[in-house]
Amino acid sequence: MYDIIIIGAGPAGLTAAIYAGRQGSKTLILEKGIAGGKGLEVPLMENYPGYERIEGQELIQKIKKQATEHAQLKELEEVTKIEKTREGFEVGTKKDTYKTKTIILATGTRHKRLGIPGEEKFLGRGVSYCATCDGPLYKDKKVLVVGGGNSALQEAIFLHKIGSKPTIIHRRDQLRAQKYLQDQTKKLKIPIIWNSTLKEIKGNNAVQGAIIENKKGQTITIKTDGIFIAIGEEPLNKLAQDLGVKTDKAGYIITDKQQRTNIERVYAAGDITGGLNQWVTACAEGAIAATTAYKDTSKI
């Protein structure tokens, strides 16, 4: 019987593990992929306190090392179901079933899809949701980056820096991204196609072009070798919903300030709770969730 099972090993889940282990809770982290989650995709962070600049991969490796000093981590083990029992919960994966008194859901989000023709077909053949992973394939090549938020600008800046030729395409005439990223984009003279959306992705075996439509309904076809889509996130909330955990209209888990959900002894932390979607807030929520789980079970 574990005291705490943490589902998801991104910044929130790993930080929860550090706190849980250090307070003496027997803790297991279950991760469907490799620890780090979307954190592995962050090219460069410049707003994590203590590091002026650090790559997402480097920071996550440090957090992972620290977490596994205090908790057991099982990677490539996707949780498929959670059942409520008299003592707590049974957490099932394809490999095993684990018993626990409490659960911390730190399942994060996934990249939103545009839902346009060609997006699925060319995934991995010119369409990508991760510049850090796939960007190096596009050195000296023309790419489009779709979106006007922090992710889109961060990806465009990264692509420019590794020698690719990005153009941002944004549906409005104003960016949503932080001023700092907007200033860098301007300084690097990364072109932006304003008031336009991607309608279709064209190609044979791989992406060769895209059809773009402006607000007046006029379309143009432009040549491009790659398309990076960064139009936001959607919550990975299936396990939560199966358990009866309450979510908001957008599907993010609702918690109180102690990261408790509406289901007793189920807590949530990180991007799955919505909000600022920053590493620093994800880590903080992870720390709070682990501490609350400990306090609640100490009363049992």
Q: Binding residues for ligand NAP, per CB under 6 A?
A: 47, 114, 146-152, 154, 171-172, 176, 197, 230-233, 277-278
The structure tokens 């060319």 sit at 122
3-state class (DSSP) for residue 74: strand
Q: b/e map of 107-136 (b: 16 or more CB within 10 Å)?
A: bbbebeebebebbeebeeebbbbbbbebbe
Q: Which is nearer to ligand NAP, 102 or 247 (CB)?
A: 247
Query: What is the spatial distance between Cα 133 and Cα 136, in angstroms, rounded to a whole number?
Result: 8
Query: What is the spatial distance between Cα 72 and Cα 17, in angstroms, rounded to a whole number?
Result: 9
Minimum gap (Å) between residue 185 Cβ and ligand NAP: 12
Query: What is the spatial distance between Cα 152 and Cα 135, in angstroms, rounded to a whole number?
Result: 13
Query: What is the spatial distance between Cα 215 and Cα 42, in angstroms, rounded to a whole number?
Result: 31
User: With contact defined as beta carbons under 8 Å apart, do 11 and 286 qualify?
Assistant: yes
Q: Which is nearer to ligand NAP, 15 or 184 (CB)?
A: 184
Minimum gap (Å) between residue 148 Cβ and ligand NAP: 3
Q: Which is nearer to ligand NAP, 23 or 214 (CB)?
A: 214
Minimum gap (Å) between residue 90 Cβ and ligand NAP: 33
Minimum gap (Å) between residue 247 Cβ and ligand NAP: 17
Q: Which is nearer to ligand NAP, 96 or 234 (CB)?
A: 234
Minimum gap (Å) between residue 79 Cβ and ligand NAP: 24
Q: Which is nearer to ligand NAP, 93 or 182 (CB)?
A: 182
Minimum gap (Å) between residue 17 Cβ and ligand NAP: 22
Query: What is the spatial distance between Cα 220 and Cα 259, in angstroms, rounded to a whole number?
Result: 48
Q: Rg of the Cα trace of the chain?
A: 21
Q: Which is nearer to ligand NAP, 76 or 188 (CB)?
A: 188
